[in-house]
Amino acid sequence: MAFGRAPRTSHTTTTGTTTRHHADRRGVFHPILSLSNILVWLSSVIVLGISAYEIRQFKKYAGSDSYPGDRLVYILVIAVLTVAFFLLAFLLHPRPSYTLLFNLIFSYLWLVSVVFAAESYSSRYVPSIWHALEAFTFIAFFGLLFNILYTWWQWHRAAPRTTTVV
């Protein structure tokens, strides 16, 4: 039980006339959640690279004092925050409530990024790199949506159940 982690096997606690069944909670490693977190992190790294490149190209050709636009800057900031803070998601695995809150916050931020990317870069006449930016924002958002559903299910399953013994 190091660092407050739950035991790896399920067990039953009996006190008086009530019996509590604790769901099977794994310790640190959740392979499905880890793969989804890696997918989200890699997508945000790709979005970070593409949006930083586009801002650099814009400033290069439009002038160094020109502003590339709020939407692209917002997408870049969310990608930077995700790359920086999403590494904590690997440490928060044993605590589904913190992971759920963390994923909820980032999913709403990425939802706005998806909307901005879909409105700005869905035209046929934009470069293909912008379509890649849009695609990877979708991947990051849907990965976070999966994380929310999975951690909610895990949190719900790990809640103690109380039954009365007659």
Work out the average pLDDT over 129-154.
Answer: 92
Give the pLDDT band (50/70/90) at residue 152. Answer: confident
Consecutive H or E run containing 163: strand 161-164
Give the pLDDT band (50/70/90) at residue 125. Answer: confident
Q: Tell me the C-alpha distance between 124 and 115, whole Å.
A: 17
Is 6 or 81 the better-scoring residue by pLDDT? Answer: 81
Q: Tell me the C-alpha distance between 42 and 150, whole Å.
A: 19
Per residue in 15-39, pLDDT tens? 555 444 444 444 445 788 888 989 9
Per residue in 55-109, pLDDT tens? 999 888 888 787 888 999 999 999 999 999 887 766 766 666 777 888 899 999 9
Percentage of the chain with pLDDT > 70?
A: 76
Supply 157's token pair.
């399953």
Global pTM reads: 0.75
Q: Residues 139, 144, 150, CA angle at the centre, nearest 5°?
A: 125
Q: Tell me the C-alpha distance between 24 and 109, whole Å.
A: 32
Domains of the chain, CATH where assigned? 28-158 (1.20.140)
In terms of Cβ atoms closer than 10 Å to its own Cβ (0-12, 13-18, 19+), residue 19 is middle
